[in-house]
Amino acid sequence: MTMTTTATTTAATDGLTDRVVLLTGVTGDIGTRYLNAFTRAGAHVVAVDLPSCESEGRRLADEAGATGPGRAVFVGGDITDEADVRRAVDEAVQRFGGLHSVVNNAAVYRTLGGKRALTELTAADWDLVLRVNVVGTWQVIKAAAPHLAASGDGRIVNIASVVSRNGAPGFAHYVASKAAVEGLTRAAARELGADGTTVNTVSPGLVDDAASRELNTSDYLATAAGARAIPRPMLPEDLVGAVLWLAGPAAGFVTGQTLVVDGGGVFV
Ligand SMILES: NC(=O)c1ccc[n+]([C@@H]2O[C@H](COP(=O)([O-])OP(=O)(O)OC[C@H]3O[C@@H](n4cnc5c(N)ncnc54)[C@H](O)[C@@H]3O)[C@@H](O)[C@H]2O)c1
């Protein structure tokens, strides 16, 4: 018996026009890059970040929306606060008519404030990082899930980090939080799949952005860059293709997966 295959000419990031995306952590270098890429692709974005980032967040959303063709609105909120998260989801439904995709990019990363041995971390350090990076991510999934189900084609992209594989020293609580994000992804993929919602993780390598430059020496960044199969610094735009693909219709039968994007630093 011969099998026929149907060639498809669909580009990986096609189909984002008029998709409504909830994106968290939008004022960080990487989040801003996702915001601009989504609106350029025609998606409408509810851009979320802490209320303390309000003026910067509004400016970034206004700029992205003005460039378009997609529109963008900023919502100040803390992802660990159930009411804030609900307000962001409601904004998507009221302003843009629904919700199709979520990118859980917000995390305590830059504000880790430096590297510390695990023997120096406190329980309060752990509480904050796990509360934002894991519980906050779950909180957004919980609030978004019914609306993603209503769309019949929902997408959730969680952001982890290769540190959960290479065990980068200096922030054990952050490393553990990103491993937990991968587990949460798999659990959510199982629970939400029957509704047509996919849930995946993008796991970035060390990005040469403002946050990483605050936490790492330039020697450390250069060594990481040189150790990659593609031996160069990683930039925020290196993540855009993977995130937009997993957030869009083309990736509808991929779920529960972790896609490492790090130029071949670690192989999984
Ligand atoms: N930069 C890297 O090298 C790297 C590598 C791997 C993974 N990542 C991940 O990529 C994502 C973006 O990284 P980044 O470098 O832009 O980090 P960043 O720290 O600069 O940005 C994180 C963003 O999340 C926001 N945020 C923090 N707590 C929040 C809360 N409770 N509610 C709402 N928003 C909150 C911050 O205000 C900030 O805008 C993070 O999930 C990070 O862990 C980054």
- How does pLDDT run across 125-136, given as a tens digit for each residue? 999 999 999 999
**What number is the average pLDDT over the span 26-50?**
98
Q: % helix / strand / coil in the chain, to the nearest 5?
A: 50, 15, 35
163-212 per-position pLDDT tens digit? 999 999 999 999 999 999 999 999 999 999 999 999 999 999 999 999 99
Considering the chain, what percentage of its residues have pLDDT values greater than 70?
A: 96
Domains of the chain listed by start with CATH number: 20-261 (3.40.50.720)
Averaged pLDDT of the chain: 95
Give 82-85's long-range contacts (Cβ < 8 A, gap of 24+): 82/139, 82/143, 85/139, 85/140, 85/142, 85/143
Q: Over range 32-52, report the average pLDDT.
A: 98
Ligand 1: residue of 23, 29, 30 to mutate (most ligand atoms within 8 A of CB) is 30
Pocket of ligand 1 contains residue 27 by CB under 6 Å: yes
pLDDT of residue 6: 43
| Amino acid 14: pLDDT | 81
pLDDT of 8 over the 50 cut: no
pLDDT at 13: 72
Q: Does 109 sit in the ligand 1 pocket, CB within 6 Å?
A: yes
174 assigned to active site: yes
- Tell me, in angstroms, the distance from the centre of ligand 1 to residue 6's CA: 40
For the cut 60, the answer to whether the pLDDT of residue 232 exceeds it is yes
What tens digit of pLDDT does each residue of 86-108 get? 999 999 999 999 999 999 999 99
pLDDT beyond 50 at 1: no
Please determine, for residue 263, whether its predicted confidence score (pLDDT) is greater than 70: yes
Measuring CA to CA, which residue among 29, 157, 42 is closest to residue 103?
Answer: 157
When pLDDT is cut at 50, 70 and 90, the band that residue 10 belongs to is low
Model confidence at 268, pLDDT cuts 50, 70, 90, reads confident
